[in-house]
Amino acid sequence: MIKGTGRPVYEGVAIGRIYVHSKQQTVTDKKCADIEKELARFSEAKETAREELQVLYDKTLKEIGEEQAAIIEVQSLFLDDLDFVEGIEDMIKAGSDAAFSVHEIGDAQASTFAALDDEYMKARATDIRDISDRLVRILTGAAQGFRMDEPGIIVAEDLTPSETVALDKDKILAFVTRQGSSNSHTAILARVMNIPSLVLTDIDIDPSLNGRTMIVDGFAGNYYIDPDDATMKAMLEKKEKAGAYKAGLESYRGKESVTRKGQHVSLFANIGSPDDIKYVLDGDAEGIGLLRSEFLYLGRDSFPTEDELFEAYRKVVEAMNGKKVVIRTLDIGADKKVDYFNLTPEENPALGYRGIRICLTQKDIFRTQLRAIYRASSYGKVAIMFPMIISEKEIEEIKKCCEEVEAELKAEGVPLNPVEHGIMIETPAAAVMSDQLAPLVDFFSVGTNDLTQYTLAIDRQNEKLDAFYDAHHPAIMRLLAMIARNAHKAGIWAGICGELAGDLSLTDEFLKMGYDELSVAPSRILELRKNVIESNI
Ligand code: PEP
Ligand code: MG
């Protein structure tokens, strides 16, 4: 048995088989000694790719339709494209190995296409990347993507938000990573999914771990590989006890969230995608206080269309059946990287080109999202929230965009319901200016994750600083009290949607400050409601 430790980010006990999630391998030039053999390998790889694409074409044509199938057809045309094929063959003849040659030529041609003005030609960059990735995978014998055949525990160095969106969430029992932090997005995802997880573990990641049995103890922060009988027995008991505690919370399902003295607070849920709706309904949330809409932009090669976004929002709004859904406009940037946004590397990404700053500079992206949100409004109760606000000027500019989009949709005869407009208070500037910002909007929602990182000047992703990251710092508490006060003075409601909202030791404090809404991981709702109902505030 191997025993190790890490920092728990969500409690619970999970028992299952290990799936090692490795990063996409980097392709290095291994050089080839036998040029003829390497050319033959490339030629065989092309044929294998052609066969794979034919299978994919038939499946797509049958299950999706002609338009999507045509995209696959275009990819197979590149296998006969002279520039592409001869470029690769020339590199092999000059002594490079086939996988590296494909990677280099594919990359160079994709960049050329991406730089063109014509939208159709630009989109071909993705096709070239896809086909060269396919060839590289065939040539290196790498496994096809990351697949889980049965439920299991994911062991990884770390997972980017883009990697997490590609996972089959129904099959994940726990996350165990070597890196990460309590506030990283993987930790947030674990809380949404209600699964025990450890970050900053001492685990030695090796493919030989695949398939071995692991226990994750998210209470104590321990993991066990190939557990002995005594450990298995003890952990099964712990798991059962945790299950019994959860079952006890069931009596709070459907109850009103009101304190003994009659103070009411709405308990909403934070989610990242329409797939998370099941956790929201299961958790008995009274609404959605934060839909992190940027997740709809991650894990793909091109911008989602207005219709795709609309369908995603409509699914959530309809499922909530008249309960409020607060959709936050995309907060790309910082740790949420998306290739097709063409964001250039920055010295300080958390202080950089992100969130509303991208939306207000690339208004076409913003308008497409706004149109999709407004269109979804007629299916229930929708509110829009804007991230990373620092000034009145931004709010004015946002309002102008919203008014234009609304007018445009009305002129098109699209049915709309009234939509509330709010801002996240997650920069010290917005907190300090909250008295002036409040009259301009319908609500505030405090993003304590960023507000803490910016107020304390502590990078939320840097695990070395975890010891300094005091979530209860008096500066944060003062700002929180001030924000609620300023919201109420202007007659608007105030909520908290950062991770701190789910900190049960602060529930009474937040009630005293008068917060109207707390938005937390769906799995936290019942426990939080118990706390509210038992509160003497
Ligand atoms: C926050 O900053 O507290 C927040 C809710 O937004 P995110 O965690 O997505 O940055
Ligand atoms: Mg934030």
If residue 326 lies in a helix (H) or strand (E), which one and from where to where?
Answer: strand 324-328
To test ligand 1's pocket by mutation, which of 331, 479, 520 has the most ligand atoms within 8 angstroms of CB? Answer: 331
Distance separating alpha carbons of residues 390 and 394, to the nearest angstrom: 7
Q: Does 281 score more than 70 pLDDT?
A: yes
CA 344 → CA 138, 199, 303, 341, 353, distances in Å? 31, 28, 17, 9, 9
Distance separating alpha carbons of residues 357 and 389, to the nearest angstrom: 9
If residue 386 lies in a helix (H) or strand (E), which one and from where to where?
Answer: strand 381-386
To test ligand 1's pocket by mutation, which of 456, 497, 524 has the most ligand atoms within 8 angstroms of CB? Answer: 497
Torsions phi, psi of 428, nearest 5?
A: -55, -35
Distance separating alpha carbons of residues 219 and 233, to the nearest angstrom: 16
Type of residue numbered 407: A
pLDDT class of 247 with cuts at 50, 70, 90: very high
pTM for this predicted structure:
0.77
- Picking from 210, 326, 319, the residue whose alpha carbon sits closest to that of residue 268 is 326
Q: Which pLDDT score, from 0 to 100, does residue 23 have?
A: 66
pLDDT class of 409 with cuts at 50, 70, 90: very high
Ligand 1 site residues (CB inside 6 A) read 290, 292, 331, 426, 447-450, 497-498
Which of 249 and 170 is assigned the larger pLDDT? 249
Report, as an integer, the average pLDDT of 134-156: 82
Lowest-confidence segment of 86-95, 120-129, 152-161, 233-242 by average pLDDT? 120-129
pLDDT class of 293 with cuts at 50, 70, 90: very high
Contact 193, 154 (CB under 8 A): no
Q: From ligand 1's centre to the CA of 1, what distance in Å?
A: 39
Tokens at residue 323, please?
């309960």
If residue 217 lies in a helix (H) or strand (E), which one and from where to where?
Answer: strand 213-217
Ligand 1 atom nearest residue 497's Cα: 5
pLDDT class of 178 with cuts at 50, 70, 90: very high
Q: Which pLDDT score, from 0 to 100, does residue 22 have?
A: 79
Distance separating alpha carbons of residues 127 and 110, to the nearest angstrom: 8
Q: Does 144 score more than 80 pLDDT?
A: no
Strand-pair partners of 325:
288, 382
Residues in the chain: 537
Q: From ligand 2's centre to the CA of 198, what distance in Å?
A: 22
Ligand 1 atom nearest residue 447's Cα: 3
The percent of residues in the chain predicted with pLDDT above 90, rounded, is 72
Q: Does 17 score more than 80 pLDDT?
A: yes
Residue owning tokens 């960049």 = 111
Cα-trace Rg, the chain: 25
Contact 269, 525 (CB under 8 A): yes
Strands (E), 226-308: 266-271, 288-292
Task: List residues, by chain if needed, whose CB lies under 5 Å from ion ligand 2.
Answer: 426, 447, 450
CA 9 → CA 13, 174, 183, 187, 214, distances in Å? 12, 11, 8, 6, 17
Q: From ligand 1's centre to the CA of 309, what distance in Å?
A: 21
Active site residues: 185, 497
Strands 13-21 and 213-217: antiparallel
Indicate which residue's Cα is closest to atom 8 of ligand 1: 449
- Picking from 184, 141, 136, the residue whose alpha carbon sits closest to that of residue 161 is 184
Distance separating alpha carbons of residues 518 and 511, to the nearest angstrom: 10
Residue 308, burial from CB neighbour count under 10 angstroms (0-12, 13-18, 19+): middle
Q: Which pLDDT score, from 0 to 100, does residue 24 have?
A: 58
Residue owning tokens 């997880």 = 197
CA 221 → CA 147, 193, 201, 230, distances in Å? 27, 18, 9, 18
To test ligand 1's pocket by mutation, which of 295, 332, 426 has the most ligand atoms within 8 angstroms of CB? Answer: 426
**Helix 98-114 and helix 82-93, axial crossing angle in degrees, nearest 10:** 140
The percent of residues in the chain predicted with pLDDT above 70, rounded, is 96
Lowest-confidence segment of 131-140, 356-365, 377-386 by average pLDDT? 131-140
Distance separating alpha carbons of residues 317 and 497, to the nearest angstrom: 19
**What's the pLDDT tens digit per position in 326-372?**
999 999 987 788 888 888 889 999 999 999 999 999 999 999 999 99
Residue owning tokens 């165990």 = 176
Contact 225, 1 (CB under 8 A): yes
Indicate which residue's Cα is closest to atom 4 of ligand 1: 447
Q: Which pLDDT score, from 0 to 100, does residue 487 have?
A: 98
Q: From ligand 2's centre to the CA of 426, what distance in Å?
A: 6
Torsions phi, psi of 446, nearest 5?
A: -85, 125
**What's the pLDDT tens digit per position in 416-440?**
999 999 999 999 999 999 999 999 9
Instruction: Please give the mean pLDDT across all residues of the chain.
Output: 92
Distance separating alpha carbons of residues 47 and 180, to the nearest angstrom: 41
Q: Does 74 score more than 90 pLDDT?
A: no
Q: Which pLDDT score, from 0 to 100, does residue 335 have?
A: 75
Type of residue numbered 126: T
What is the residue-wise DSSP string for 433-479? THHHHGGGSSEEEE-HHHHHHHHHT--TT-GGGTTT--TT-HHHHHH
Indicate which residue's Cα is closest to atom 6 of ligand 1: 447
Distance separating alpha carbons of residues 156 and 187, to the nearest angstrom: 13
Distance separating alpha carbons of residues 312 and 307, to the nearest angstrom: 9
Q: From ligand 2's centre to the CA of 378, what distance in Å?
A: 28
Q: Which pLDDT score, from 0 to 100, does residue 57 have?
A: 82
Lowest-confidence segment of 33-37, 178-182, 409-413 by average pLDDT? 178-182
pLDDT class of 145 with cuts at 50, 70, 90: low
Which of 262 and 76 is assigned the larger pLDDT? 262
Which of 298 and 222 is assigned the larger pLDDT? 222
Residue 500: DSSP 8-state = G
Ligand 1 atom nearest residue 500's Cα: 3
- Picking from 310, 401, 407, 317, the residue whose alpha carbon sits closest to that of residue 359 is 401
Set out the domains of the chain in order of their start, with CATH numbers: 2-22+145-248 (3.50.30.10), 35-140 (1.10.274.10), 253-533 (3.20.20.60)
